[in-house]
Amino acid sequence: MDDSNWIHLCIDMQRMFAEETPWHVPWMRNVSPQVLEVAQRNPHRTIFTRFVSPRRAEDMPGTWRHHYEKWDSMTLEVLGPAMVDLVPALKALVPPARIFDKMTYSPWTTGELHRVLAGEGCSTLAISGGETDVCVLAAAIGALDLGYQVILLKDAVCSGADETHDASLELLGDRFSVQLEILSTEEFLGRVPSRA
């Protein structure tokens, strides 16, 4: 892999999912060492997304409003803005790692992330983070639509639901095999040089 054209896109490794909240993802603890290894070796090539809840449910349009009426405890008014932060070990890498905030499952909705990556000549995304069957899936499908080669780091993605995590990996690996590759963190790091 050409060292000049890839980015590690790490999805939503935040306190609101790592800590005891209604959206807690226990598996995040298990994949954190792999995510951290990729990010520490290549912080200058890492972009962290953060899923940012609205202050109140009524601040959101359409079905997002209903979503946050159900999950009122996850609004910023109740949860508090500090819970949107990355987990501390990853937050410590910013900068040179960067943060991209989003209010939807997909990081591509506003067009800003694609504009930045296209401007930098990025053609390949190595994706880690959570959840495999929600925001990681949205990030991967959106990246494929935009023409990126995607490498999904299978031991660095997690979900709160085992069955749909497994189904998502199977779906992505089977249906998008020309555009997407599933690798272990070790396999991926063996292909790319770390920054000197």
Tokens at 75, concatenated: 């609004």
> Which residues lie closer than 8 Å to 107 by C-beta, 6 or more apart?
9, 11, 49, 100, 113, 135, 138, 139, 142
Distance, CA of 22 to CA of 74 (rounded, Å): 8
Q: Please write the tens of the pLDDT for every residue from 117-137.
A: 999 999 999 999 999 999 999
Q: Render the burial of 11-46: b for 16+ CB within 10 Å, e for the rest.
A: bbbbbbbbeebebebebbeebbebbbbbbeebbebb
Q: Give the model's confidence band at 196: pLDDT under 50 very low, under 70 low, under 90 confident, else very high.
A: very low
Amino acid identity of residue 163, one-letter, is E
Residue carrying structure tokens 């069957």: 133
Tokens at 127, concatenated: 């994706």
Q: Where are the domains of the chain?
A: 6-17+24-52+85-191
Q: Please write the tens of the pLDDT for every residue from 140-167.
A: 999 999 999 999 999 999 999 999 999 9
Query: What is the DSSP code (8-state) at residue 148?
Result: -
> Which residues lie closer than 8 Å to 117 by C-beta, 6 or more apart?
7, 125, 148
Is residue 91 pLDDT above 50, yes or no?
A: yes
Amino acid identity of residue 33, one-letter, is P
CA angle (89 as vertex; 189, 23 as ends), nearest 5: 100
- CATH code assigned to 6-17+24-52+85-191: 3.40.50.850
Phi, psi of 8 (to 5 degrees): -90, 110
Mean pLDDT computed over every residue of the chain: 94
Tokens at 36, concatenated: 């951290």
Confidence at residue 193, expressed as pLDDT on a 0 to 100 scale = 73
Q: What is the pTM of this model?
A: 0.95
